[in-house]
Amino acid sequence: MPPRVQQVTGIRIKHPELGEALETIVEHITASDKLSGVDGSGQVAAPTAPSQLQVSAGTDGSVEFAITDDAVVVQQGGGPSQPSPICYFIEFSTDKNFTNPLPLTHQAGAIRNGRIFVGQQAWYFRCYSQYPGSNPSAFSNVAGPIQVTLLPRGQPPTSLPRKGTGSSLMGRAGAGFGRFS
């Protein structure tokens, strides 16, 4: 919802230049909100949780992750061609409740695929998404734990299907946070 200036009509009648300046300021703030995917009038709603998190462990101490997010990206400040920039986070912990110890967090940004070095350990994994200015989504967990090993000549994890980025369609390359028409 764009910001409003109360009594702008009355101001425009008495002080045309001031009224025009106020309307221009409101237009610029609204345009900025649309481009950044936020709503300046209140808190941004949290995104829907990603559908699935897949993790593949290698023998080189690393894991590859793939986040499936089939949810429609909510348009916060923009119209239909203005997707909100979404960011993904991967958490991993030796505790299945992610409380003791607290999880390590990898910010994946708009990327739904990646590789993380985690060392030799049995890990539990989960992910969530978040818009700038929103609360995090619910978690998507991997049934675990996943044992990661570290051998002198270890092999990287098996590659997982590519999932695209940001608000792009699944598997579509070159979209970053999403395409703006």
Confidence bin at 167 (pLDDT 50/70/90) = low
Q: Which domains does the chain have, with CATH numbers?
A: 1-36 (no CATH), 52-148 (2.60.40.10)
Confidence bin at 36 (pLDDT 50/70/90) = low
Strands 121-130 and 62-68: unpaired
- How many CB atoms lie under 10 A from the CB of residue 51? 11
pLDDT reported for residue 16: 84
pLDDT reported for residue 138: 93
Going from the C-alpha of 170 to that of each of 68, 162, 175, the distances in angstroms are 8, 8, 10
Output b/e per residue, 3-32; b: 16+ Cβ within 10 A: eeeeeeeebbeeeeeebeebeeeeeeebee
- Give the pair of three-digit tokens for residue 9: 């009509």
How large is the average pLDDT for residues 25-30?
A: 80
How large is the average pLDDT for residues 101-117?
A: 91
- Give the pair of three-digit tokens for residue 60: 């080189």
What does the H/E/C string look like for the chain? Answer: CCCCCCCHHHHHHHCHHHHHHHHHHHHHHHHHHHHHCCCCCCCECCCCCCCEEEEEECCECEEEEEEECCCCCCCCCCCCCCCCCCEEEEEEECCCCCCCCCCEEEEEECECEEEEECCCEEEEEEEEEECCCECCCCCEECCCCEEECECCCCCCCCCCCCCCECCCCCCCCCCCCCCCC
pLDDT reported for residue 79: 47
